[in-house]
Amino acid sequence: GDAMVDHHRSLRQGFPEVVFGAGKSAGQIERIMASLAARGNNILVTRLDEAKALAVKEAFPVAVWHAAARCLTLEQKPAERRGRGTVLVVSAGTSDLPVAAEALVTLRMMGNDAEHLYDVGVAGIHRLLARREALAAASVLIVVAGMEGALPSVVGGLVDRPVIAVPTSVGYGASFGGIAALLGMLNSCAAGVTVVNIDNGFGAAVAASKINRD
């Protein structure tokens, strides 16, 4: 019934409807998507594993499965391009890629131009510095990093535009599932960095999208 459709985090007009896939069965996701699709909306499902995604795709063959991002999208009409510039997602290690990818899919579903700069960790600072032009060209930056979470401080020192930091749960031992990175980012010595929840690539993209809107 209606109780299955949880509207409490729905976004505003012009944006897709978003379904948080974690903890929902393929059947539940299908029913929610059907009800949303009937209203003509574009749909973004996040936090999906491959098995569930393939099951859902049988009901919605047009839907696209983004494996790295663990997201499924259904575009019934093209997302309206409204951003003032490019949102740049910056990430360091291989293991941060899924969170970066979730941000990228979300950004594009919300009508932004989005690019990805990866493999630029702080322990090999020259790789980051070699890309200063890309950094300077962005209108908003999302910086994804696990372990010590230092990348947003360095990036924040190189650019003048808003930086949104996303800690990831990548690491072991005293990384405490992302707490070390989260604390590092909250204490960033680069003024003006803001932070979202651990692994919340989606939330960072929504914030960046609001900033990027004219």
Q: Which does 46 bind (CB under 5 to 8 A by kind): ligand AMP, Mg ion, its own copies, none?
A: ligand AMP
48 binds ligand AMP (CB under 6 A): no
Using an 8 Å Cβ cutoff, are 53 and 65 in contact?
Answer: yes
Q: Which is nearer to ligand AMP, 137 or 153 (CB)?
A: 153
Phi then psi for residue 66, to 5 deg, are -100, 95
Asked whether 143 and 117 are in contact (CB, 8 A), the reply is: no
Residue 38 near which of Mg ion, its own copies, ligand AMP, none (CB within 5-8 Å, type-dependent): none
Asked if residue 37 binds Mg ion (CB under 5 A), the reply is no
Stretch that binds ligand AMP, among 14-22, 50-58, 76-84, 135-143 (CB under 6 A): 14-22
Binding partner of 33, given Mg ion, its own copies, ligand AMP, none, CB within 5-8 angstroms per partner class: none
- Residue 92 backbone class (left: φ over 0; alpha: ψ -120 to 50; beta: rest): alpha
Provide CB contacts within 8 A for 148, sequence distance 6+: 122, 180, 181, 184
- 147 binding Mg ion? (CB under 5 A): yes
Beta-strand pair 71-74/43-46: antiparallel
Binding mask 87-126 for ligand AMP (x = CB under 6 A): ------xx-------x------------------------
One character per residue 79-118, x = contact with Mg ion (rule: CB under 5 A): -------------x--------------------------
Cβ 92 to ligand AMP, closest distance in Å? Answer: 10
Does 210 engage in binding with ligand AMP (CB under 6 A)? no
Instruction: Answer for the pair 10, 41: CB distance below 8 angstroms, yes or no.
Output: no
Residue 145 contacts Mg ion per CB under 5 A? yes
Residue (6 or 137) nearer to ligand AMP, CB: 6
The amino acid present at 139, given as its one-letter code, is S
Among residue numbers 180 through 199, which ones bind ligand AMP (CB under 6 A)?
Answer: 191
Rounded Cα distance, 142 and 145, in Å: 10
Binding site for ligand AMP (CB under 6 A): 6, 9-10, 18-20, 46-47, 93-94, 102, 191, 200, 202-203
